[in-house]
Each structure stands twice: as C-alpha cells, then as structure tokens.
Structure 1
Amino acid sequence: MPIDRFVLILVIVLAAAGATVWLAAIVATSITVPLGWLALIPAVLAALIGWRVISDRLRNREDDHYDRME
C-alpha cells in the first residue's frame, strides 16, 4: 500500500473519530444543560453543508469532464 493512501486513510479515520466525539459531547450537553439543545444547531448546519457539498459533487456532470478522457 502506498504511503499517501495510508496517510489518507489515517486522516479520515481520525477525522471521523473526532467528529463522533464532538457530536457525542454536543448531544450530552444538550441533554444536561437547560437550553443546551441550542448547541445542536452548529452540528445540524455542519451536517447540512456536508450533505449539500457531497450531493453536488456526485450530481455535477461538468465535474466529470476528465473521467471521459483516455
């Protein structure tokens, strides 16, 4: 396995672990602190932005220009 692919996998795994811990902390805070549910707003916004970016990248035909070249 090339080192760049290994580093990419490692970065993705660390980012996913960090996002999981961050989301768990926000949910725990929203349960224990009065009006803590307001802390869920940044998490929902981040999820919405991520969803929109990924769906746009998958549906954009102009972005696939170099896939048809030989």
Structure 2
Amino acid sequence: MRLDTIALVIIVIFGVLWLAIWITGLLTAIPFGIFGLGFIAIALGLLIMVIYQRLTNAEDDYYDKNIDQ
C-alpha cells in the first residue's frame, strides 16, 4: 500500500470517529441537539452529492487522465 493511501485511510477513520463523538454530544443536548443533527444531515448530503457527481462525470475523468498540468 502506498503511503498516501494509508494516510487517507487514517484520516477517514479519525473523521468518522470525530463525527460519531459529535453526534453523541449533540444527542445529549436534547432537544437542542436535534437541530444540529439536521445540519449534519444536510452537510453529509451535500458531500455525498459532490462525490457522486465527481465520480460519474466523464469530462472530469478525461481531463484528469489526458491533460498535462
């Protein structure tokens, strides 16, 4: 495995742990924590949409593979 892949996996693991701790903290602040969960859901939805659009865009793939930087 390449070093950048290992670093990315570690960052993702810490990000998921941070998000789980954040959600747990919001739930302890009920009823006000529910509003925070809404913002988290919106942010995650936007992130998923951006990643999905990037992965399914053939034009971006073409420029990544064929155009020199």
Question: Does TM-score exceed 0.5, indicating one fold?
Answer: yes
Structure 1 position 52 matched with structure 2 position 49: yes
How is 1:5-24 mapped onto 2 (pairs within 5 angstroms)?
5-24=5-24
Aligned residues: 66
Please, what is the CA RMSD of the aligned residues? 2.3
The runs of at least 4 consecutive aligned structure 1 residues that moved more than 4 Å come to: 66-69
Aligned-partner Cα distance in 1 for 2:13–2:28:
22
> TM-score scaled by structure 2?
0.67
CA drift of 1:68 comes to 6.6
Structure 1 position 64 matched with structure 2 position 56: no
More RCO (CA 8 Å, sep 6+): 1
Task: Percent identity, please.
Answer: 27
- List runs of 5+ in structure 1 lacking aligned partners: none
